[in-house]
Structure 1
Amino acid sequence: MSAIGKGFVKCLCCYLIILLAVTLLAPVFTPYDPLSVGLMNILQPPTAAHLFGTDQLGRDVFARLLYGGRVSLAVGGAAMLLSVSFGTGYGVISGFLGGMADRIMMRVLDALLSIPSILLMIGIQVFIPASFLSVVIVIGMTSWMPIARLIRTEILSLKGEIFIQASVVVGASPAQLLIRHLLPQSLPTIIVMSITGVSHAILSEATLSFFGIGIPPHEPSWGNMLMGAQSYVLSGAWWIALFPGLLITFTVLAVTFLGDVLQDRFALPQLKRSGKW
């Protein structure tokens, strides 16, 4: 990797670390309560007292950004863990069993993949009470299918390797094959899918909250802030939507670029070994 590439990766990591630290230490960086309503301070533009202005209820936008970041990032991390865990398990079982079981599981997966994930999320979420847990479950359980397909392909590819066949010959059990060989070899793919899954979950939470069926409106999140701002932006209160929109954009781009860089980094040794690089 070139010096410019390494510097770019460091910038991405620094941004994400700073963002995580600032949101976790939100009380240190702002004296305002994100839920405190100030009817005398409604729709104030950015000032020294309120760095990012106030919203339609007089709440400090900067404070809501920091506390809302906790919710949005927590949803991203928790939903990612759920989707990666379920998708990895499904893909490993399908690829390892092979035969008729693999074909049946893949047809089920194809049927689920034929439904747009955002429509599936909205269709499920409208029928259950909005809460942090419900949003995590809905996002996690509607985004595992691409992960399962990739892991299944990885397992099928690894099963044909000589060292796997040699392990079978010397009497390795299925559990030993999975734990000692197949899962460790699939770890780079799992890591990359985990990182990119965070950005997908953050965007999904923002979308659901924007439609009013995600995080409950009284709890700050970046998606809720955009939802509350849609009626006031055209009247001149641009700051209500600008700052949460920028945070969502920069965070999703940073996580996505980091995933792409790691994917290239993990793929490079494999290309060298195969003689394609």
Structure 2
Amino acid sequence: MFKKLDSRRTLPVLLLLLAAAYALFVPALNPAGVHQVDLGSVYQPPSAEHFFGTDQLGRDVFTRGAQALRMSLLLAAAATFFSTVLGVAGGMLAASFGGLVDRIIMRSVDALNAVPHLLLGVVVLALWPGMGWAIVLSIALTHWTQVARIIRSRLVAEREGGYVKLAKASGASAPSIWFTHLIPAVIPQAGIALVLQLPHAIWHESALSFLGVGLPPQSASLGLLLEDARAGILLGAWWLLVFPAALLVLVSWSVAVFAHSQPPKSRRAGKLGRSKSSTMAGPDSITKDHPEAALAAQGLNVCKLDASGNTVQLLHDLHFSAAPGKITVVMGESGAGKSLLLKSLAGLLPDTLHSNGNIFVDGKPVPPRQLARLRGRNLVFVPSSAATALNPVKTVNSMLKQELRRNRRERSFQVLAEALNQVGLDAQLLGSYPHELSGGQAQRVVLALALISQAPAILLDEPTSALDHETRDLVIGILQDLAADGRTIVMTTHDPQLGARFAAEAVCLKDGKLVAGGGMEVPAVEKELFQEAESWA
């Protein structure tokens, strides 16, 4: 069971299971021990007979702690459930009707958020003191607002999505759009809210009981146990505070860490990644076809799930290779799959996409999860937008130093200046921020950051887009010099005439399929590439 869990989730899940077993079985095995009074054993420290010691009435704290944890978890779970239901309903109403209804609900949310939650809970419990359902109501009324705000924001964003507009244009009814597109989009948010609210609800209930406005004194909850500890701690009965507080903190921490940790990929996603081509081919097969390949892909497929749950194929059984000392250009119109191919080679596909096939680095098969270890050492990826690749609050100097530090290289001014000179930039730009750079300068700074790693393979996504002719030719010249030094250069472009002009090898993609090239020399495919380019115009 635990082998299937993310390593960060194993400890929280184990602690939650132990807490649940403790809360369920200990009171069941010794039901009388919860309220059994023994005035001859008052304030006994922890021992073999009483694991957590005894309280001011001689009651076993170990048994009462289990009953208290059970009661607090039940009340918190019920309150969390109802607050999530209220929040989802409020968010859906606000997003669905808009206008006056939206304003009323959002102003109600603002008004409730302005009132301290604990104060509102005290007011509710003052009307119905000692009632469990009143505690649930007080917590639910003060916690649904954040859920409503999140659900409303998500629904408003989804409603403006292209696929929703397309469904409306296709004549889909409002209920169909809600149940097919909108509600499935907010279910994950509702689930996350449900889990994240649980520890907060436990603390809320404990605080109310500690203040004396929660459950009656004869009951058992974590708040009541902490209230009992207030008098005992002055007499040296430290165990009355330590053990209930430890239960409260450990359960809250376990739930919070479990909710924030990254879940493993679902079985459904795993099924998407399986196909007849998913069997790993040996390195002999790829080196036989492309003996000099530094980077290669064999039978590469990339797919995703659309809003309806159907599989959409983005890359179709691609075979690709790039040799050292050459510039390999991947051409194609926008949406052809060029960036997906490069991100697949670099192991940078988002979690929403699923791939299978084989990636080879230096003739050796590399599983997708291990590609991250090779980035920066064997290969480096340069994104298409320099504006998003550079940190807006850091100077060129600090970004270069950070990259040099990561690669354990000297960080002197001479090394920094040389890094910029290598891409045709003056050292005076070291003190500049990204917004002070032109588009061509920013593009070359990103390239300089990539070259610091000294990786033998460089993947560049549209490195010449939005550049003037002079800057474009300068960037191309830098790439040609790198290839002449033995680097493997793979770049994408939507301009086949530009690519065919300087590429040693070229491939052409259309709709995720290889339509020309595939490792052949450029003259052999140049005619096909230009014919394909004419169809894009």
TM-score, normalised to structure 1, is 0.90
More displaced 10-residue stretch of structure 1: 153-162 or 95-104? 95-104
Matched residue, 2:210: 210
Give structure 1 stretches of 5+ with no counterpart: none
Write the distance in 1 (CA, Å) between the matches of 2:41 and 2:51. 13
Write the distance in 1 (CA, Å) between the matches of 2:66 and 2:165. 52
Q: Work out whether residues 205 and 215 of structure 1, in 8 Å CA contact, stay in contact via their aligned partners in 2.
A: no
Matched residue, 2:82: 82
Deviation per CA, 1:195-253, whole angstroms, max 9, x where unpaired?
Answer: 01111110001000000111221111111100111111021011011100011011111
Q: Map 1:152-167 to 2 at 5 A.
A: 152-167=152-167
Cα gap change, 1:264/1:74 in structure 2, threshold over 3 Å: closer, same or farther?
same
Q: Work out whether residues 124 and 134 of structure 2, in 8 Å CA contact, stay in contact via their aligned partners in 1.
A: no
Matched residue, 2:44: 44
Q: Work out whether residues 88 and 148 of structure 2, in 8 Å CA contact, stay in contact via their aligned partners in 1.
A: yes
Residue 170 (1) aligns with residue 170 (2)? yes
- Secondary structure of 2:100's counterpart equals helix
Matched residue, 2:227: 227
Matched residue, 1:118: 118
Write the distance in 1 (CA, Å) between the matches of 2:190 and 2:148. 10
How far is 1:108 from its partner? 1.7
Cα gap change, 1:31/1:143 in structure 2, threshold over 3 Å: closer, same or farther?
closer
Q: State the percentage of identical aligned residues.
A: 32
Write the distance in 1 (CA, Å) between the matches of 2:103 and 2:251. 38
Write the distance in 2 (CA, Å) between the matches of 1:183 and 1:130. 38
Cα gap change, 1:210/1:151 in structure 2, threshold over 3 Å: closer, same or farther?
same
- Secondary structure of 1:155's counterpart equals helix
Write the distance in 2 (CA, Å) between the matches of 1:244 and 1:64. 9
Write the distance in 2 (CA, Å) between the matches of 1:142 and 1:217. 24
Matched residue, 1:55: 55
Write the distance in 2 (CA, Å) between the matches of 1:212 and 1:83. 23
Give structure 2 stretches of 5+ with no counterpart: 267-349, 355-383, 390-537
Cα gap change, 1:147/1:132 in structure 2, threshold over 3 Å: closer, same or farther?
same
Deviation per CA, 1:245-268, whole angstroms, max 9, x where unpaired?
Answer: 0110111111112222259999x7
Matched residue, 1:24: 24
CA RMSD of aligned residues (A): 2.5
More displaced 10-residue stretch of structure 1: 116-125 or 196-205? 116-125
Write the distance in 2 (CA, Å) between the matches of 1:235 and 1:57. 14
**Number of residue pairs matched?**
271
Cα gap change, 1:265/1:206 in structure 2, threshold over 3 Å: closer, same or farther?
farther
Matched residue, 2:137: 137
Larger radius of gyration: 2
Q: Work out whether residues 34 and 63 of structure 1, in 8 Å CA contact, stay in contact via their aligned partners in 2.
A: yes
Cα gap change, 1:263/1:112 in structure 2, threshold over 3 Å: closer, same or farther?
farther
- Secondary structure of 1:25's counterpart equals helix
More displaced 10-residue stretch of structure 1: 170-179 or 204-213? 170-179
Q: Work out whether residues 195 and 259 of structure 1, in 8 Å CA contact, stay in contact via their aligned partners in 2.
A: yes
More displaced 10-residue stretch of structure 1: 129-138 or 80-89? 129-138
How far is 1:27 from its partner? 4.1
The one-letter code sitting in structure 2 at the alignment partner of 1:225 is L
More displaced 10-residue stretch of structure 1: 47-56 or 104-113? 104-113
How far is 1:22 from its partner? 2.1
TM-score, normalised to structure 2, is 0.48
Residue 261 (1) aligns with residue 261 (2)? yes
- Secondary structure of 2:127's counterpart equals coil
The one-letter code sitting in structure 1 at the alignment partner of 2:117 is S
How far is 1:6 from its partner? 2.5
Q: Work out whether residues 8 and 261 of structure 2, in 8 Å CA contact, stay in contact via their aligned partners in 1.
A: no
More displaced 10-residue stretch of structure 1: 153-162 or 135-144? 135-144
The one-letter code sitting in structure 2 at the alignment partner of 1:142 is T
